[in-house]
Structure formats: structure tokens, C-alpha cells
Amino acid sequence: MRVNGLNINYYDKGSGEAVVFLHGWGSEFSVFREFLDGLSGYYRTCSLDLPGFGGSDEPPSGWSVGDYADFVLDFLAALGICSAVLVGHSFGGRIVIKLTGMGEGRLDIKKIILIDSAGIRAKRTARQKMKSAVYSLGKRVLSMGVVQKKYPRCIDGWRLKNSSEDYRNASSRMRECLAKIVTEDLTHCLPSISCPALLVWGENDTDTPVSDAGIMERMIPDAGLVIMKDAGHYSFLDQRYTFGRVLDSFLNITRLP
């Protein structure tokens, strides 16, 4: 399927009200496959490999969270979907949060489910501030003309050495995206979320800690939190059965024995 000039790998099965799943950074829609298939007898279930992931083309420039949210709206419009329940894991949760403020007039959001969602920018510790200062100083030194002329690849090596695994594994275009995405704090968006929200978190999540879930639960007007025992950042995979039952309950699904 082509959307805005990009080839997009996607999933669309079932009928009725739509439930749309958005995956995390470095992932693809297949991570939700068992839940997509399991819900398709009750809902129209949809997902996509977001641009730059899985089988989809990379975005044409360094996209922000808002750019991804805009693209998701265009993708859903291409499928004729104007009303949906949105499910987002990690980076996908960022997009869902953004969509709750952007989708008015284009998408009627019935409910949202945020799974180990990103979006809250943590306050930096003194150690992190010091590391950032050292990084900035090193970058300035390596950017000096005389240094670049003699060691042209130094700054790239320095940046990679001091970056996250996601950054190191990304293409140059996706690094542009990541740099914009991780610096955006969406905390201010939470109080304006007007639909019911389910928060699902792994108790051992170290990427987006449970403390983030607590902030979201307090700030989203109609939110409930389920903490998954013995689960990490991919809590829905670590506790598949439990997550499936929680999903059914929130979507009012009663399965026959």
C-alpha cells in the first residue's frame, strides 16, 4: 500500500469498529500478530510497520512525533477509518498521546491503551548532566576546523560511542528522527486526553519505568493502570495471557468457552 508516496507494510483484518496497534521503536507490527488475529473476530484490527521500520519505506526527512502522528492519520484515512481504539507500545504510545490532541475532526478516538509508553522526559541526574556537558565539550572540540581536517571521522565516532543502542543501530535518516523524538516531552498533553485510557506496564521495565505510568495515571483524567508482574518493557509479550485478558475486558469482549 502506498501512502503519501511511501510503500507501507500493513495489517487489516475483521470488520466493525477499528482497533489500531502502533509498535515501538525498532519493532514492527508483527510483534502484535497474535493479538491482532485474536481480536479480528470481534473488531476490525489494523496495524502497520511505521515508516522506517519493518517492511515500510523510511520517511523522506527527519520526522518528529507529530509527523508520525500525521502520517498515521493519513494511513487510517486511506483505509477509510475515521473512528478507532488506539493501542500504542513505547514509541507507539508517544504517537497515540500526540494523536489525542491532533486527531480532532480527522479521527474519533474511542479509547486508548498505552503499553510501557514513552512520552515523559525524565529529569536528568547530576551524573547525566555532567555526562551531557562532557559530550557537548567533546563535540565542540571535534567540530573545530583543524581537527575535522586532520580527523574527518572523529565526530561521527564520538557521537556513536556516546549514543544509545537505538541510535547506533539506526540509519542516518532514522537517527535524525530519533534525535527529534526523544527530546520531546509529552507530559503537557496528558490532561487533555478526554477518552478512557488503559495503562499497561511491566513492573521491571527499565526503559520506561513504572514511575512514568504513575505520572500518566495521575494526569490523564480517565485512566486506569495495570502493572504486569515479572514483566519488562515488552510486558504484553512477557505476560501474554494476562495481557490478552486485560485487553478483552477493556474492549468488552466475552469469549465463549
Do residues 20 and 76 touch, judged by C-beta distance below 8 A? yes
Q: What is the pLDDT of residue 257?
A: 75
pLDDT in tens, 75-116: 999 999 999 999 999 999 999 999 998 877 899 999 999 999
Q: Rounded mean pLDDT of 11-24?
A: 98
pLDDT in tens, 92-101: 999 999 999 8
Long-range contacts of 28-31 (CB under 8 A, 24+ apart): 28/53, 28/54, 28/55, 29/54, 30/54, 31/89, 31/234, 31/237
Q: What is the pLDDT of residue 105?
A: 82
Q: Which of 14, 2, 16, 82 is nearest to 48 (CA)?
A: 2
Cα–Cα distance, 53 to 179 (Å, whole number): 16
Grid cell of 207 as nine digits = 526503559
Q: Which of 1, 178, 31, 5 is nearest to 94 (CA)?
A: 178
Band of pLDDT at residue 182, cut at 50, 70 and 90: very high
Q: Which helix (H) or strand (E) holds 223?
A: strand 223-228
CATH 3.40.50.1820 positions along the chain are: 2-121+185-250
Do residues 190 and 97 touch, judged by C-beta distance below 8 A? yes
What topology does CATH give the domain 2-121+185-250? Rossmann fold (3.40.50)
Cα–Cα distance, 239 to 212 (Å, whole number): 20
